[in-house]
Amino acid sequence: MGYEYRLTFAGADPAKTRHAIGQLPGVEHADARDAGAAAALARPMPDAVMWCTADGLSFCANTSEGLRCLGTVIARLTSTFGTVEVAELE
């Protein structure tokens, strides 16, 4: 079973978002995806993957361990951008 979340926040500059995510422990370097205006950058982690979008971040986890990474991601983004809105996608 997979979990997918959409995180949005004010001032979601993709470059600033990539920098904030790149500071997370356990995040491996990944190549940028060619997503045009969305400026996506996939960030693989054990059990989870996330990518930058034009207005925030998408986060997918396939395990409960990957889902626990979401809390760390939210904390990092909150310290960088302030309020982070989280929506679970179905």
The predicted pLDDT at position 75 comes to: 86
Residues 73 and 78: their CA atoms lie apart, in Å, by: 9
The predicted pLDDT at position 53 comes to: 79
The predicted pLDDT at position 86 comes to: 93
CA angle, corner 57, sides to 50 and 10, nearest 5?
Answer: 155
The predicted pLDDT at position 73 comes to: 84
Domain coordinates in residue numbering, the chain:
3-89
Q: pLDDT 10s digit of each residue in the chain, 90 long? A: 588 999 988 877 778 877 877 777 655 444 443 443 333 445 556 678 888 777 888 888 888 888 888 888 888 888 888 899 999 987
Q: Whole-model pTM?
A: 0.68
CATH of domain 3-89: 3.30.310.180
Q: What is the DSSP string of 8-74?
A: EETT--HHHHHHHHHTSTTPPP-PBP--GGG--BEEEETTEEEEEETTEEEEEESSHHHHHHHHHHH
Q: Which residue, among 25, 29, 2, 80, has the nearest Cα to 57 in the 3D structure?
A: 80
